[in-house]
Amino acid sequence: MKLNIGEAIKKLRKEREITQEEFAEVLGVSCQSVSRWENGLCYPDIELIPTIAAFFGISTDKLMGVDEITEKENVEKYLDRFQRAISRGRINDCIAIAREGVKEYPNSYVLLDKLMYALFVSGDDGSNIPEWKENMEKYDSEIIALGERIMKNCPDQNLRLEAASRLAFHHILHGRKELGKKIYETFPPMELSKERQIWWALEKHEKLPFLRDAIKQSYEFLKSFIWSLADADVVDVETEFIAINKIFELEKLILDGNRPKNSWGDVWLDFDIAKRYALMGDYGNTFKHLRLAVDEAKAFDVFPDEQKYSAVLVGEITERKLDFETSDARPLCEILRDDWLVHDELDPVRETDEFKEIIKSLS
């Protein structure tokens, strides 16, 4: 087992804000010895280990990285339990698991981030959490405290940005739009992102997987922006209709039409365009897309543990049922029937036999 004593000493020394010279003087060794430890060239004499651990107020196991290895394994177990719970919409379980993990490892930023995420999601008004409004108020200050702690102290930049993004949105949901905007404005622009810049540093064997991943991510971003255009109530119904159809066309272009039609997004997309057809008085296409949404919801509810598909631009894609995250424990068919199909855009067809048959097919 590789011991990371030198790395631990360097980290702890910097946290204490003491120099190598000052630390060497405390131990009665040369500054060069401390430098060699921290660079991994050699280890401290075994007689010094208890003294160093005592100086930093930690155990010798912690200093030698034994606890760190155990901690990493145990944190992974917490994360696995968390993911299994959130893939089934068991948000209260997610909160309990994250709290349990943070209690055991109070300085694990990944667990602190999961706790913040679970508390945030517990206030989702689009789920089947009866107390969502109470949760928004109850966890408001805790979410802010967690987000600010991660943003200030977490060494992982991606985790800091993830927490910052969630905190900004949290402020906005609570009517503190200026605070949210202020956080968002600290983010780097898209043109300065890693994905836009790292190309020049890649080796040849790294370029194909990078390009395919970048194309897939860009496709997801573009689809999201187009969908926002259609759903933000900033254009007329005809333009919304055109925008949604562009999403269908974009998927065929990027994924070659090979992706199975069994995602949450598929259901919402067909439901969304059915609403537009109803608003435009085209009830034949309204029913067509509602039936497609029903078929896709049924397929989603029996989503396999893992499915694979491929396309020229993105290569092979693997999707796992476990990776889906939701705040709603109900089957999607039930959500479609009880939440989505009650939208007033569908009122013109609500009393028809075709619509009643669609509702019946979801029961």
Q: What's the pLDDT at 1?
A: 44
Assess whether 357 and 217 both reside in one domain: yes
Give me the number of domains the chain comprises. 3
d(CA 281, CA 8): 68
Assess whether 168 and 236 both reside in one domain: no
Assess whether 206 and 182 both reside in one domain: no
What tens digit of pLDDT does each residue of 69-124 get? 788 899 999 999 999 999 999 999 999 999 999 998 888 999 999 999 999 999 99
The CATH number of residue 145's host domain is: 1.25.40.10
Assess whether 225 and 336 both reside in one domain: yes
> How far are the Cα atoms of 247, 324, 362 from residue 336, in angstroms, in the given order?
21, 17, 8
Assess whether 209 and 352 both reside in one domain: yes
Assess whether 71 and 156 both reside in one domain: yes
d(CA 81, CA 76): 9
Q: What's the pLDDT at 40?
A: 85
Assess whether 148 and 290 both reside in one domain: no
Q: Is the pTM of this model over 0.85?
A: no
Phi, psi of 154 (to 5 degrees): -70, 130
Domain boundary among 188, 208, 243: 188
Assess whether 47 and 74 both reside in one domain: no
d(CA 289, CA 202): 44
Contact indicator for 78, 97 with CB cutoff of 8 Å: yes
Assess whether 218 and 253 both reside in one domain: yes
Q: Say if residue 270's pLDDT is above 90.
A: yes
Whole domain around residue 268: which residue ranges? 199-361
